[in-house]
Amino acid sequence: MQGPSFPEVSHAPPQSPKKLDTVVKLGLGVLVGSFILIGVGMFLSRPDRSIPPYSIGSQEGPVVAVHVPAWTSDPGIESLIQRFRKVGRETRDFGPMKIRPTTPGDPAGPYRRISIYVFTHDAWTEPEMLHQYVAAAASNSEADRPVREAFEKAVRGFYRLDESGEEGRIGPLGGKDTAATAAYARVLFKGVITSAAPDQPE
């Protein structure tokens, strides 16, 4: 009489989980490293720590599109605009602010005119987007109005300096002045330059 039979137990070593391919690891490392480098670079490249990190997305003549992180508050954007104002009044040299000359070769100076648009979404600072806006603003036609309005609605901060004076704003530009617009947009300063810009608290 045969005894009960038992299934044979395999003594093969357990298979280890499949490891990621070296190329995949390298790609992930480069991707993560790029985001870290961009963030650290924006933070460390600030002229000082009293303004939020920013980068120059694109520039077309005297028009500059600036990108700040999405979490930047209105007071932070205001401090950046006030810094542009201080530079414009004291030295009119925006080179240290990472902005190329806006009026190169002009006898009145390389930064005689400048308009800076600040965004928290980098898509609006792409060269192609800025080019479309500059062209639409120059044509001032009804066909280009949607481009102008969409661009100006996305603005979080604005600074302008030219022969007529200076202007600084928080919030979207253009459009009808409604209660909703007033809640998000306000004029910081506007007029002829008569004295040096006030010092900003650190």
* Residue 148: DSSP 8-state: H
Nearest to 169, CA basis, from 151, 183, 144, 187: 187
Task: Provide the edge-to-edge strand list for the sheet that holds 165-170.
Answer: 55-60, 63-67, 114-119, 157-162, 165-170, 186-191
Q: For position 110, what pLDDT does the model report? A: 94
- Using an 8 Å Cβ cutoff, are 156 and 77 in contact? yes
Verdict on whether the full-model pTM lies above 0.85: no
Nearest to 200, CA basis, from 45, 70, 56, 89: 89
| Strand, coil or helix: 194 | coil
Which range among 34-48, 56-70, 188-202 shows the weakest confidence by mean pLDDT? Answer: 34-48
Number of H helices, E strands in the chain: 5, 6
Nearest to 111, CA basis, from 101, 122, 100, 121: 101
For 2-27, write each residue's pLDDT tens digit.
Answer: 555 555 555 555 555 566 677 777 88
92 falls in which pLDDT band (50, 70, 90)?
A: very high
- Using an 8 Å Cβ cutoff, are 82 and 188 in contact? yes
130 falls in which pLDDT band (50, 70, 90)?
A: very high
